[in-house]
Structure formats: C-alpha cells, structure tokens
Amino acid sequence: GGIGGGGGMPSFPKSQAVSSSASAAVSSNGSYSATTILGSRNAVSASGSGRSQVVLIGEHEESEIQAIQLKLWIMIARHVIERCDGDSAVRVSVAFLKSSNGLLKVEDLLGFFPNFTVIDNFRAAITDSLHVYSHTIDGLKNEMEDATLIADAVSQDIHTLAHRTAAVSLKVPCARCGSEIGWAPPAAAAAGFPSGGCLVPFLVFPTGLAYHTACAAAEVAEVAAPPLRRRIQNLVTRLTRANFGSSMAPPYAGAPAETIESLQGALIDLIGGDDPRNGENLVQLIGLPFLWDTDALEAESWAL
C-alpha cells in the first residue's frame, strides 16, 4: 500500500506518504488543514496542487502510528513557530501541546525558538512535563525495587536448596530399577552406565524419589541429544575409572586430569537438576516412540 490516486502514480512507504500529505497541507492550507489530518485515526488525507491524496494507515501498529503522528505534529509546530513572533509563537505552541493530547512534549518544541526567547508562558507546560517524568522515574524505581526483592528471594532459595539435606534409608528402592539404592544397580537397568569408583552411589530428589546415579544417568541419556548423551557417558566413565577416595581423575580420551569434585559437579548439573521422572525430562518423553527399533519383533507380533 502507498498513495492511492490516478494511474501511473508511484508507490511510497506509508510513513513517507503521510509526511508528504502533511507537508502539502502545511504549505498550501496552513496549520488548520494539517492538524485536521491528525484528527483521523484510520486515514490521513490532504488536498494540494489540485489533486486529492488519501493514505490509509489503519493497518499500522499502534506504536508506528504514534511515531508518524508525532513526526507530523513536530512538522506543523515548526511551521507555525517559524512564522510567528516570540510571544504569539509561545502561546500557539502551548495550544499545540494541549491539542496533541500528550503526544507532543514541550522539549520537542524548544529547539525551534531562537536564543534568549522569553518562555514564561511555557512554565505550566514545563512543570507538567517534569511531573510526568518524576512519576515515570518513581514507577521505574518501584519496579527496580521489586525486581531486586525477587532476585534476592530466588538467590536465597537457590542457596537454601544447595545446602538442603535429606535422610534416606539405603533400603529405599531405586525409582528406575527397583533395587535398593545401597546396592549396585543391575547392568540392564543402568543401560550400560557403570557404577563404582568415585561415582556418587545414588541421588535423592525433593520429590522423594531416589535413583542409583547410573540409573539417573540412563534416564536422562534416553531423551538427551547425542552430544549431551556422550558428555554424560564420558563423565560417568571417568568417575568410575578413578579409584575410590582419590581426589584426581586420570586423563581420559584426550582430556587432561581433573579433580573428582569438578567432574562430580558437572555430572550433577547434567542429571541432578530435575527428578528424571517429574521434571523437564518427563516432557521430553512425550516425543519418544512407544516402541524402539530394537523392539521391531515385538511390534511385528502385534500386526494384524
């Protein structure tokens, strides 16, 4: 969409067409015709040079419309101020501020006045503008204070959770394999993830469920992307290869030696953030097939 008119007329962006229409109105009919342009919400029209031009702006977003209107108000105000003497220009400018319904600000007009202009008539408008800015600043301060309180509360919750402890019996069954968490998990349930060494034996979540660490790693790896799955496998392998009680894990697969504490922390970050059966991991299960390729024979047995 652009300017609608006779055949062969070029198309322009709407904002450019609106500005052209307002310029034509200002130059030919004065400020009254131009301000009439701004009174229409869905269309901006102007008549000039013997030809009518209509520009539809109903499809604009509200912010874009306001930007166009502000540009037009400033254009018209400048036209009026430059053609009036000092006192009358100030009075007319104050009238413009009121007519624009708050869209035009006093600071938008001050640049059009010559130096040393007496602007006592602007006193009320400037005071109103300062009140608006003061109210806006107070609102921003309140929002910042609320955001600070929320951030402090979240930080406190994280700190509390990081130091939260739970007492659990070693006879509690693993949520994945059903075996007691005090014993090593069955190899089948751990899906090939090893146990022992410096690997933390089990994990307990706020939901009340407990898992062998190898079982928790298997739960997460089943729905993880291949790079994350390999990272989990690498961390579990390095921890289980380290001798129990040692503080350093030896180099592995081109990676240098690292502290056991750092490897354990990295693994917990990957598999211990959520209960595998009650957190984000559960959402990932929605996209998984009911039967894997390895279950092809089972699927064929149900075929009709």
189 contacts 218 by C-beta, under 8 angstroms: yes
Highest mean pLDDT among 10-19, 159-168, 263-272, 295-304: 263-272
Q: Summarize the confidence of residues 276-287 as an average pLDDT.
A: 77
Q: Which of 204, 205, 177 has the alpha carbon at shortest distance from 193?
A: 177
Helices 86-99 and 123-162: angle between axes, nearest 10 degrees: 40
pLDDT band at 142 (very low <50, low <70, confident <90, very high): very high
Give residue 22's pLDDT: 53
Indicate the residue type of 291: L
Q: Summarize the confidence of residues 48-77 as an average pLDDT.
A: 64
Residue 67 tokens, joined: 């930007």
Strand pairing class (43-48; 51-56): antiparallel
pTM: 0.47
> Counting beta carbons within 10 angstroms of the beta carbon of residue 120, is it exposed (0 to 12), middle (13 to 18) or buried (19 or more)?
exposed
DSSP letters spanning 17-64: HHHHHHHHHHHHH-HHHHHHHHT-SSEEEEEETTEEEEEE-TTS-HHH
pLDDT digits (tens, 9 = 90+) for 73-108: 888 877 777 777 666 777 777 777 777 777 777 777
Residue 299 has pLDDT above 90, yes or no: no
The torsion angle over the Cα atoms of residues 243, 245, 251 and 255, rounded to 10 degrees, is 120
249 contacts 260 by C-beta, under 8 angstroms: yes
The DSSP secondary-structure symbol of 151 reads H
| Alpha carbon distance 41, 185 (integer Å) | 71
> Counting beta carbons within 10 angstroms of the beta carbon of residue 127, is it exposed (0 to 12), middle (13 to 18) or buried (19 or more)?
exposed
Through-space distance between the first and last CA atoms of the chain, rounded to whole angstroms: 59
Residue 17 has pLDDT above 60, yes or no: no
| Alpha carbon distance 298, 304 (integer Å) | 13
| Alpha carbon distance 236, 231 (integer Å) | 9
Coil/strand/helix, residue 250: coil
> Counting beta carbons within 10 angstroms of the beta carbon of residue 50, is it exposed (0 to 12), middle (13 to 18) or buried (19 or more)?
exposed
Q: Which of 204, 190, 284 has the alpha carbon at shortest distance from 232?
A: 190
pLDDT band at 64 (very low <50, low <70, confident <90, very high): confident
| Alpha carbon distance 88, 119 (integer Å) | 11
Give residue 7's pLDDT: 44
Task: Kindly list the domain boundaries of the chain, sorted by start residue.
Answer: 14-131, 166-290
Residue 128 tokens, joined: 């109103």
pLDDT band at 294 (very low <50, low <70, confident <90, very high): low
Coil/strand/helix, residue 206: coil
Q: Kindly give, in sequence order, each residue whose CB lies less than 8 Å from that of residue 288, ignoring residues fewer than 6 positions away.
A: 222, 223
Q: What share of the chain is helix, strand, coil (3-state, %, to 5)?
A: 55, 10, 35
